[in-house]
Amino acid sequence: MSTTPSVLFVCVHNAGRSQMAAGFLSHLAGDRVEVRSAGSAPAATINSAAVEAMAEIGIDISAQSPKILTPDAVQTSDVVITMGCGDACPVFPGVSYRDWALEDPAGKGVDAVRPIRDEIRSRVEALIAELVPATA
């Protein structure tokens, strides 16, 4: 593949699920995939339970901050993954849209966030297997 595939993770607040997914994809795929995340109504800060749950497995997302979803971010992505939030994403031809129905970690403690984190990891691993051919 001559170009690096780009993935945009979208949830309403861009504070939990999409940040964890972006953290996993960056960590597991490195520079083989361009990773972005955004929200339609970004929170002021990233979810502290999501930060703690990711830190437990050695992935630091504490420096991330919620970002606003823009049509340009969608249009320049190869894959747009929404996360069970019914977001109204702008639709562009040539962009692959998927919805991952995931429980919202907002307001939950780290014990409740761990299973969400683990589900996101397994989905991200499958996504990497699909987007990045194993030609190492």
In the set 85, 110, 113, 124, the catalytic residue is: 85
CA distance 3 to 72: 18
Q: 4-129 is classed in which CATH architecture?
A: 3-Layer(aba) Sandwich (3.40)
Query: 11 an active-site residue?
Result: yes
Query: 105 an active-site residue?
Result: no
Q: What are the sequence ranges of the domains in the chain?
A: 4-129
The tokens of 2 are what?
């001559």
In the set 7, 11, 25, 127, the catalytic residue is: 11
Write the DSSP string, 64-129: ----B--HHHHHT-SEEEE-SS-------TT-EEEE------TT--HHHHHHHHHHHHHHHHHHHH
**What is the model's pLDDT at position 123?**
97
Instruction: Share the mean pLDDT of the chain.
Output: 91
The tokens of 1 are what?
């593949």
In the set 12, 38, 59, 89, the catalytic residue is: 89
Query: 89 an active-site residue?
Result: yes
73: Cα within 13 Å, side-chain hemisphere: 17
Tell me the pLDDT tens digit for each residue of 19-53: 999 999 999 999 999 999 999 899 999 999 999 99
**What is the model's pLDDT at position 85?**
63
pTM for the full model?
0.93
